[in-house]
Structure 1
């Protein structure tokens, strides 16, 4: 994974509920969420993150294979700071 190779600590979650628990425990400075997570999808997870006053300023980047205007708009409405579509590549 590119982030680990660059020296960043990466914490993975199984689903949106697991992500919220780990975010509360570790208080990351940047959060990536996949739109298609089980139990609690990325849109719902992002919205809950942004509703928390302690996390509201933390950037959330959504990852998805969906590239439609509706999908991107839904991400912005949920509070995401960026929306990246898969597959993506490392830029130099």
Structure 2
């Protein structure tokens, strides 16, 4: 891990999920690892909070009402200030089509639900250290 992110408490992660249970679970994993977490319950809520919280990384559910995760990711990537911000997509679908769609939207990685704590933290560390490398 680079020295820029060695202090996890200085790193803000935006978690976007319409499920309160998933938001709580992911936030708990990240907070226990020392990260600062900002929660959003859908894509519109996330976009409204983006400039204020300035996340180093975004964790975004794929299936959400109003604005799905693919479109939310694409909008984050289209924003000049967040073009390089890694976006980890969470999906209960693991098919090739879903991974390709995530890649086209600009996702840095796609993680499968149910989400394992170690898999999430490994992906977070990897993408914070590497920057926003697409799939």
Pick the TM interval, shorter chain.
Answer: over 0.9
Q: 1:12 aligns with which of 39, 42, 50?
A: 39
Please give the residue correspondences for 1:37-56 in structure 2 after superposition, counting only pairs within 5 Å.
Answer: 37-56=64-83
Cα displacement string for residues 34-61 of structure 1 (whole angstroms, at most 9, x for unaligned residues): 0012210000000000001110000000
In the superposition, the TM-score normalised over structure 2's length comes to 0.65
Q: Does 1:28 align with 2:58?
A: no
CA distance in structure 2 between the partners assigned to 1:34 and 1:89 by the alignment: 15
Once superposed, what is the RMSD of the aligned Cα atoms? Answer: 1.2
Question: Where does structure 2 lack aligned partners over 5 or more consecutive residues?
Answer: 1-27, 123-135
Could you report, residue by residue, the CA deviation over 1:58-78 in whole angstroms, capped at 9, with x for unpaired residues?
A: 000000101010000000000
CA distance in 1, matches of 2:73, 2:117: 24
The structure 1 segments of at least 4 consecutive aligned residues displaced by more than 2 Å after TM superposition are none
Counterpart residue number, 1:61: 88
Q: How many residues align?
A: 92
Structure 1: tracts of 5 or more residues without a match: none
- SS at 1:28's partner residue? coil
